[in-house]
Chains A and B, each alone.
Chain A
Amino acid sequence: MAPATKPRIKIPESARAGEIIEVRTLVTHVMETGNRKDRDGKPIPRDIVNTFVAKYADQEVFRADLGPGISANPFIAFSLKVPGPGTFEFAWTDDEGTTLIETQPLNVV
């Protein structure tokens, strides 16, 4: 994975249990498709974030299998019906096998 910059996560400042919230995530990654060639005409190997997993309170709540058709710096937003207090754990894994993990607690009122 390219020099790790902190992934960007956007969740509401607070939420009530049972409320449906939107979770927006963005990670910095080149998402090299594997179809391009370098200046010498040699193919540039594919390197994409192929899996994104979101957990909340240690339960998997969303998963995405990504292909090279996802733009560089993958942005993914999904919804969650807040089951109660908890912390998000997001994990992005790329073709090199590197996994980047980011956690963010949700303020449940």
Chain B
Amino acid sequence: MTAQGKELLTISVLNRRSLLIAGGAAALLRPLLAMAQEESAPALERSKIFQEAYTALTAGATPVEGKVTLELPELAENGNFVPLTVSVESPMTPDDYVKVIHILSTANPVARIATFHLSPVNGVAKVQSRIRLAKTQDVIALAQLSNGALVMGTTTIKVTIGGCSS
């Protein structure tokens, strides 16, 4: 091999490596960028009807986030029929149990989807149902414990075809 040939080889190796590195960096960056974009996405609008219902139910108190798990599919193709599971961490003893769970929609024409009344006889605070959602929105589960404390959980769900008139 001539000296010139060697040089050419080195360059091409270097180029390939730098290409790989650049490609790798871009691949790493892409999800980071996507995450940044997601974070900067504006919060979903919450209807006035929801705000009124929420204010009435909380009566000025600030519910503590957590303890409440609200399971909804990430994406609902049909907003007329969305499976929902709500559960609240609680020993469900006569001294400490979940009394009420409200399910609230932030974008339906009627905010209060349902209210479930529980007592220690339930053993666990878990309820399942199927709900209607008019469009992409946050769904909120607001629970009142036997000592009066309020806890809540929020889940965002994308809705492809809205439940026409929920």
**Residues of A participating in the B interface, judged by any CB pair closer than 8 Å:** 20, 24, 33, 35-36, 56, 59, 61-72, 74-81, 83
Separation of A3 and B50 alpha carbons in the complex (Å): 34
Given contacts A33-B165, A70-B131, A74-B129, contact A79 B124 (CB under 8 A): yes
Given contacts A36-B165, A76-B129, A79-B123, contact A71 B82 (CB under 8 A): yes
Binary A-proximity of B94-136 (CB < 8 A = 1, otherwise 0) = 0000000001010011101111111111111011111111000
Number of B residues with CB within 8 Å of any CB on chain A: 34
Contacting pair B118 A68 (CB below 8 A):
no
User: Across the interface, which residues of B come within 8 angstroms of A74, CB to CB?
Assistant: 129-130
Measured between C-beta atoms, what is the minimum distance from A93 to chain B in Å? 14
- Counted as pairs of residues, one from A and one from B, with CB atoms less than 8 Å apart, the total is 100
User: Across the interface, which residues of B come within 8 angstroms of A80, CB to CB?
Assistant: 121-123
User: Across the interface, which residues of A come within 8 angstroms of B113, CB to CB?
Assistant: 66-67, 69-70
Contacting pair A63 B123 (CB below 8 A):
no
User: Across the interface, which residues of B come within 8 angstroms of A79, CB to CB?
Assistant: 122-124, 126
Residue from B81, B82, B116 with most neighbouring chain A CB atoms (10 Å): B116
Question: CB within 8 A of A62: which of B118, B128, B132?
Answer: B118
Contacting pair B122 A35 (CB below 8 A):
no
Question: CB within 8 A of B117: which of A36, A59, A62, A83?
Answer: A62
Question: CB within 8 A of A83: which of B121, B131, B164?
Answer: B121
Chain A residue nearest to B122 (CB atoms) is A79
Separation of A75 and B116 alpha carbons in the complex (Å): 13
User: Across the interface, which residues of A come within 8 angstroms of B122, CB to CB?
Assistant: 61-62, 78-81
Contacts of B70-94 to chain A: CB distance below 8 A: 80-82, 92
Measured between C-beta atoms, what is the minimum distance from B136 to chain A in Å? 15
Separation of A70 and B115 alpha carbons in the complex (Å): 11
Contacting pair B82 A75 (CB below 8 A):
no
